[in-house]
Chains A and B, each alone.
Chain A
Amino acid sequence: MTLMETSMVEDESTTSLKVLVIEDDNEMASFIEKVLTDAGHSVERASDGASGLAKARSSEFDALVVDRMLPEKDGLTLLQEFRAAGGTTPALFLSALGDVQNKVQGLRAGAEDYLAKPFAPAELAARVEALGRRQVPAEAPVTVLKTGDLEMNLLTRKVTRAGKKIDLQPREFRLLEYLMRHAGQVVTRTMLLEKVWDYNFDPQTNVIDVHISRLRAKIDKEFGEPLLQTVRGAGYRLQSQG
């Protein structure tokens, strides 16, 4: 995954997000900033917990990216205080502590997502976008998801494309639902493992790719325009070319 490819992740349909990055390591912060600006977001930086908390409170951000180990105030405390004060900005923890217990701790402290270092740039960009999306308030509960001419009725659990019925296995249905809810965004393999399978381990074999290709065979094969794209080195994206 080179930086050139990172820019390929950029997508005109994605809304640009205002992201606050709270990270004390300057090089790391610059790297995160570059990844996110390349993906079309605007980034502000804070290099310690106290100033990070002040910034997070003072202005409107769409997402926070918080390092767990910070000088003066560690990330966990910072986020707990932010949430206690009524801050609702979705947050993603970055940490070198990647085991499950640490993740659970981070999520309990009020983070929406957790990413262990080292991470792939695409993974970070994809997750921050997923976070930012949640900011869009859900109006009426959605019963039908639409991407291009692909439709999913969540009540009847029917999927059609251009009016043609598509039969899906339960897992395929869940996989497609997640992709449709994040239409236009890059979704990584790890995200799919976590959200669709609820796994925090690495199955090693290219199992996700195989599931995706089966899904693709069902929703794209007989139709002209492919919706389910593979983004090299990053993951997948479900997108109707608008």
Chain B
Amino acid sequence: MKSPLQLPSWLAPMVPDRAQILRPLRVVGRSIRSVWRGIGKAWAGLPFMAQIKKAMPAFARTTTFKLTILYSAMIAAFSGALLVYLYYSTVYYIRAESENRITVEFEQLANAYYTGGMERLSQSVFERMTLSGSQFFYYLEDSSGRKIAGHFPRLPAEPPAVGMKTVYFDFELPQADGTSTLRPAAGRIVRLRDNGGALMVAFDTAQQTVIVGRIRNAVYVAVPIALILSLAGGLLISRGAANRADELAKTTEAVMGGELGRRMPVRGSGDEFDRLAQRLNAMLDQIQKLVESSRHTGDAIAHDLRSPLTRLRNRLELALSQPLSEDAANETLGTTLQEVDRVLDTFNAILRLARLDAGSEGTLTRMDLSELAEQLAELFDPACEEANLGFKSQIARNLVILGDKDLIGQALANLLDNAVKYTPEGGSISFTANRTPEGMIDLTVIDSGPGIPEDKRDKVTQRFHRLDSARTLPGSGLGLALVESVAELHRGQLILGTANGPTDRPGLKATLRLPRA
């Protein structure tokens, strides 16, 4: 006979062993993982996926939803497996218990049979049938199939030709009130050796069935509850992460909607979401700067190019409306052309500034600043002389920077050009280049002109800003803005100050300060 720990053969199909329970669990875990991966992969590859995605409710596409489903599937699988295991092991325990008792019963009956044959056996059966409190039912028949003793009118099934077989059947249990109820029973029929008769021992499984039924009901109730709880849990767990992502998405939408001042929330926890938010915020700062500058540029273009273009239009219209002598026509065309050239110059300057701002202008290479400064001094010297201005320059040797020769040249030319333009006749201009104690290089242009009042100094580097005193002179109002942009590109700065001249002509001291290579 088998030990109770080993499964009897007749219970084997009913009760899986532990390994059998664990294997499907592992398989389920693996399947969930691979299905999840597969879904992710198949998702994009499916035909009409785009349409399906569109048709899916928005929430079903969120990470929250996916994570929730994943979590709850895992929790549900785990708790489901637990309940199934519980159910089977309980059933197994009950069955094994009954099985043990039937086995003991059979052992005793077998003893009777082996010691006293059929006679002794039938006696034993009779005795046991009359014993009160016995949970067992018996049935004994001889080799011809006649009933010798038993609770039932006949066997519920054909006895086996040899050995034993398990049977499940319902029997009628007479009640006190004369009616009878159907009761489930389970038993074993044994073909008696050397005799050909058959013996059945069965027991009422109603109680077991009730217990098992209760457990089953518990499982039916518990699984949905577990599922709901796991959904809720999954939602809570995943919402934390997804909320942060949503916050970022919402802020992004707000920014795209034109609220350029909005920034990603930083919780100060220092987690990856915080780090991401900080980087995004730095990017937004940069974008805001660019957008504001381009907005400003746009406004300025509208403002500054509209007037000359309007003048042009009017002049041309006027020229068209009346017959002109050839001289007058040429005169008109000449001034028109000059006007157009000015507009184009302004336009180019705006474009160059915009490209500088966007970082798409200028390539920094090692260059000899001394040489460039010397050349510019030499280039401007005659022009100053022509304008009756004193010009002196002092350029230190071997000043090397990482820079863009053309941009630095343009910036210095703008400073020198301003000096030539605004310094009245008889004045003087000096141009110096030297190292500073802080390890920078200062390129300074000093003139003896009207200078720029202190309260206006940060204004003049704004695009198109022109001081009232300068409005009559040619220029686009972009010169100093470009110098400042070039300085920024080279990680330097433009410093405007006074040359400390007499009150009526303090003069301007403009310094382009650049880091040494």
Interface residues of B in 335-358 (CB under 8 A from A): 337, 344-345, 348, 352, 355
Asked whether A99 and B355 contact (CB < 8 A) given A207-B379, A214-B382, the answer is: yes
Q: Are B380 and A207 in contact (CB under 8 A)?
A: yes
Q: In the assembled complex, which residues on chain A have CB atoms less than 8 Å from the CB atom of B416? A: 203, 205
| Cβ of A178 to closest chain B Cβ, rounded Å | 15
Assembly CA distance A211 to B218 (angstroms): 104
Count A-B contacts at CB 8 Å: 60
Q: Are A100 and B382 in contact (CB under 8 A)?
A: no
Any chain B CB within 8 A of the CB of A210?
Answer: yes
Q: Digit string of B382-416 for contact with A (CB within 8 Å is 1, else 0)?
A: 11011000000000000000001011011001101
| Cβ of B47 to closest chain A Cβ, rounded Å | 36
| Cβ of B341 to closest chain A Cβ, rounded Å | 8
Say which residue of A99, A204, A210, A214 sits within 8 Å of B352 (CB atoms).
A99
| Cβ of B356 to closest chain A Cβ, rounded Å | 10
Q: Are A1 and B417 in contact (CB under 8 A)?
A: no
Q: Are B417 and A99 in contact (CB under 8 A)?
A: no
Say which residue of A2, A213, A214 sits within 8 Å of B330 (CB atoms).
A2
Q: Are B330 and A4 in contact (CB under 8 A)?
A: yes
Question: Interface segment, A30-38, A133-141, A193-201?
Answer: A193-201
| Cβ of B338 to closest chain A Cβ, rounded Å | 9
What is the predominant secondary structure among interface residues of chain A facing chain B? loop
Q: Digit string of A86-118 for contact with B (CB within 8 Å is 1, else 0)?
A: 000000000000111100000000000000001
Q: In the assembled complex, which residues on chain B have CB atoms less than 8 Å from the CB atom of A118? A: 344
Assembly CA distance A99 to B356 (angstroms): 11
Say which residue of B334, B375, B410, B414 sits within 8 Å of A197 (CB atoms).
B375
Q: Are B410 and A201 in contact (CB under 8 A)?
A: yes
Any chain B CB within 8 A of the CB of A202?
Answer: yes
Q: In the assembled complex, which residues on chain B have CB atoms less than 8 Å from the CB atom of A204? A: 413-414, 417
Any chain B CB within 8 A of the CB of A143?
Answer: no
Q: In the assembled complex, which residues on chain B have CB atoms less than 8 Å from the CB atom of A98? A: 348
Asked whether A2 and B337 contact (CB < 8 A) given A200-B406, A203-B417, the answer is: yes
Asked whether A205 and B383 contact (CB < 8 A) given A98-B348, A99-B355, A200-B406, the answer is: yes
Assembly CA distance A91 to B404 (angstroms): 27
Any chain A CB within 8 A of the CB of B512?
Answer: no
Considering only CB atoms, which chain B residue lies closest to A200 in the complex?
Answer: B406
Q: Are A2 and B413 in contact (CB under 8 A)?
A: no
Q: In the assembled complex, which residues on chain A have CB atoms less than 8 Å from the CB atom of B414? A: 204
Q: Are B383 and A210 in contact (CB under 8 A)?
A: yes
Q: In the assembled complex, which residues on chain B have CB atoms less than 8 Å from the CB atom of A100? A: 363, 404, 406
Interface residues of B in 366-386 (CB under 8 A from A): 375-376, 378-380, 382-383, 385-386
Q: Are B382 and A202 in contact (CB under 8 A)?
A: no
Count of residues in B whose CB is under 8 Å from the partner chain: 31
Q: Are A201 and B406 in contact (CB under 8 A)?
A: yes
Any chain A CB within 8 A of the CB of B420?
Answer: yes
Any chain B CB within 8 A of the CB of A165?
Answer: no
Q: Are A205 and B417 in contact (CB under 8 A)?
A: yes
Considering only CB atoms, which chain A residue lies closest to B406 in the complex?
Answer: A200
Q: In the assembled complex, which residues on chain A have CB atoms less than 8 Å from the CB atom of B337? A: 1-2
Q: Are B352 and A199 in contact (CB under 8 A)?
A: no
Q: Are A203 and B361 in contact (CB under 8 A)?
A: no
Identify the interface centre among B382, B404, B413: most chain A CB within 10 Å of its CB: B382
Q: Are A2 and B380 in contact (CB under 8 A)?
A: no
Q: Are B413 and A202 in contact (CB under 8 A)?
A: yes
Say which residue of A4, A201, A205 sits within 8 Å of B409 (CB atoms).
A201
Considering only CB atoms, which chain A residue lies closest to B345 in the complex?
Answer: A202
Any chain A CB within 8 A of the CB of B333?
Answer: yes
Any chain B CB within 8 A of the CB of A206?
Answer: yes
| Cβ of A175 to closest chain B Cβ, rounded Å | 11
| Cβ of B11 to closest chain A Cβ, rounded Å | 83
| Cβ of A8 to closest chain B Cβ, rounded Å | 13
Asked whether A199 and B361 contact (CB < 8 A) given A4-B330, A205-B380, A207-B380, the answer is: no
| Cβ of B326 to closest chain A Cβ, rounded Å | 9
Q: Are A171 and B352 in contact (CB under 8 A)?
A: no
Assembly CA distance A204 to B383 (angstroms): 11
Assembly CA distance A161 to B404 (angstroms): 41
Q: Are B334 and A206 in contact (CB under 8 A)?
A: no
| Cβ of A212 to closest chain B Cβ, rounded Å | 10
Q: In the assembled complex, which residues on chain B have CB atoms less than 8 Å from the CB atom of A201? A: 406-407, 409-410, 413
| Cβ of B510 to closest chain A Cβ, rounded Å | 15
Q: In the assembled complex, which residues on chain B have CB atoms less than 8 Å from the CB atom of A205? A: 380, 383, 413, 416-417, 420-421
Considering only CB atoms, which chain A residue lies closest to B326 in the complex?
Answer: A4
Asked whether A199 and B383 contact (CB < 8 A) given A204-B417, A205-B416, A205-B417, the answer is: no
Considering only CB atoms, which chain A residue lies closest to B475 in the complex?
Answer: A204
**A interface residues with partner B (beta carbon < 8 Å):** 1-2, 4, 98-101, 118, 171, 197, 199-207, 210-211, 213-214
Q: Can you report 6 residue pairs joining A to B where beta carbons are below 8 Å apart?
A: A1-B337, A99-B355, A100-B404, A202-B410, A205-B416, A205-B421
| Sample of 18 more A-B contacts, CB < 8 Å, known A197-B379, A199-B409, A205-B413 | A1-B337, A2-B333, A98-B348, A99-B355, A199-B406, A200-B406, A201-B407, A201-B410, A201-B413, A203-B380, A203-B413, A203-B417, A204-B413, A204-B414, A206-B383, A210-B383, A210-B386, A211-B379
